[in-house]
Chains A and B, each alone.
Chain A
């Protein structure tokens, strides 16, 4: 249990009311972002993202598997998140928490709904063999806004992913030892997360801002400005104006985020 000191709640709320923040940023300003790719040589795709003090590592491992019966010619994406207890004194070891599942699903939804991974090109033999991509989110330091950090890391990792060339020889899948191909990707996307403090929406919240916020909104936007996923979180409601403001701001902000990729 983590109780926010009342005076911290007040001071953050008062700051935001005056369009200020505890770390001196503007309400629509991100913290410093750094992205490294190919950080895990054993993973076919990987990235580490630092967003202020927040740090996540994403690794992508492919496996050959059977397609779903209703999509026999499409590859499969699976996103899984571990909120490691090393990342936050309040994270517990054990099966994924609700927060962790929500994080993985929101990040997954952006990738999936934007259809930026060309799943049809991940089919090795229709109805029998397709590539399954396991996207594992590893949260190692939680200083707020895991959503945007994870989505950036997944995007960067996907762009760095190379798969071995697979061919069918005598009804068996044979993987090439040295020949690889880049994961086919036809778009880019980023997630913009806002929290509501007082009656204002604040982008890229710090941990304390998250803790005093009344509600959250994630907006996933592609490079060409299409909204592909959204999620409202938090205990309190949002007003329509808040949502429209966030969508508008996100569409602009995502261009900036994608430049980091």
Chain B
């Protein structure tokens, strides 16, 4: 027996279904009932119930890409605020190997970086690194802060939302999975983009959002509505997991490449390297956000 429908808004303690259903993220089982532990939207797939939270704090996960702020410079590492209950560290060797340099000459307190979570220890402390395209210190632009659970909505189906904003505003946009977004472009466009992002955050759980945002963008920039409507197929529900397999594949490929590169570091195979470079160029897109399909609505519950 199930008491809710897919996409229903539920609250903590609410009974969702009886024993024959499986308890996924955002739910728990007690006395033979599957219950919600969060305020969020029900996602039902193959008898597995999950609740996708409307709000939650970012908990670092290996492989995530995040935006962080240098909070302190220490002897051999930087302390990084990653908008989470858990701070990150960026060890010096992740940045310049064994070379000795003065850390604060490279990144100083207040600098904002695009980083990858290399590892997370048992107390959730995140070890950060800069391996990956586009990683490193941001120069200029602004930082926009949104709820991490709204990140998939900002990106949209196959990046539809974020690409639309980028195209229309001519801004560079980088989205961290920890809910921080970097925007750089024309001064006025930066502010417009910030407002648009906040609008998406506020209305993430409403339908018809892509069209609404498109209209807003065109009105603000061209002073008139867009010539044609976005196809309804683009319209996708709220916090539903966006299908971003291509990003995931890219990410995996990138990691594989990195690994292979590492393996072959001692005896580099020129042909292979060239081939890899070719491959890389082929898939050269804006890879500012490499999205792991499973991590979208990553609430911490199955994450022990």
Contacts and interface: CB of A to CB of B under 8 A. Distances in A.
Given A8-B142, A8-B143, A3 B190 contact: no
Given A5-B69, A7-B141, 20 more contacts: A3-B70, A3-B71, A3-B81, A3-B109, A3-B110, A4-B110, A5-B110, A5-B111, A5-B143, A6-B110, A6-B112, A7-B112, A8-B142, A8-B143, A9-B110, A14-B187, A20-B187, A20-B191, A22-B142, A22-B191
Interface in B24-77: 69-71
A134 B188 CA distance: 47
Chain B residues touching A, range:
20 to 34
Contacts of A22: 142, 191, 194
23 contacts: A1-B71, A3-B71, A3-B110, A4-B110, A5-B69, A5-B112, A6-B111, A6-B112, A7-B112, A7-B138, A7-B139, A7-B142, A7-B182, A8-B142, A10-B140, A11-B140, A15-B191, A18-B187, A20-B187, A20-B188, A20-B191, A22-B142, A22-B194
Nearest to A6: B110
Contacts of B182: 7
Contacts of B111: 5-6
B118 to A, nearest CB: 22
A15 B188 CA distance: 9
Interface in A92-150: none
Interface residues of A, number: 16
Interface string B96-114: 0000000000001111100
A24 B108 CA distance: 30
A11 B141 contact: yes
Contacts of A24: 191
B227 to A, nearest CB: 28
Given A11-B190, A15-B187, A3 B69 contact: yes
A228 to B, nearest CB: 37
Interface in B92-136: 108-112
Interface of B: 69-71, 81, 108-112, 138-143, 182, 187-188, 190-191, 194
Nearest to B68: A5
Contacts of B143: 5, 7-8
A5 B143 CA distance: 9
Contacts of B142: 7-8, 11, 22
Contacts of B81: 3
A206 B257 CA distance: 46
Q: Sorted from nearest, which 3 A-B pairs have the closest CB atoms?
A: A6-B110, A11-B142, A5-B112
A7 B140 contact: yes
A235 to B, nearest CB: 16
Contacts of B138: 7
Nearest to A9: B110
A29 B111 CA distance: 31
A15 B182 CA distance: 17
A24 B198 CA distance: 15
Contacts of A15: 187, 191
A8 B111 CA distance: 10
Nearest to B139: A7
Contacts of A10: 140
A49 B210 CA distance: 36
A250 to B, nearest CB: 27
A18 B186 CA distance: 13
B173 to A, nearest CB: 14
A3 B141 CA distance: 17
Contacts of B70: 3
A8 B71 CA distance: 14
A11 B182 CA distance: 12
Interface string A4-47: 11111111001100101010100000000000000000000000
Interface string A192-209: 000000000000000000
A190 B191 CA distance: 31
Contacts of B108: 6
B175 to A, nearest CB: 16
A71 B190 CA distance: 58
A158 to B, nearest CB: 37
A7 B174 CA distance: 14
Nearest to B138: A7
Contacts of B140: 7, 10-11
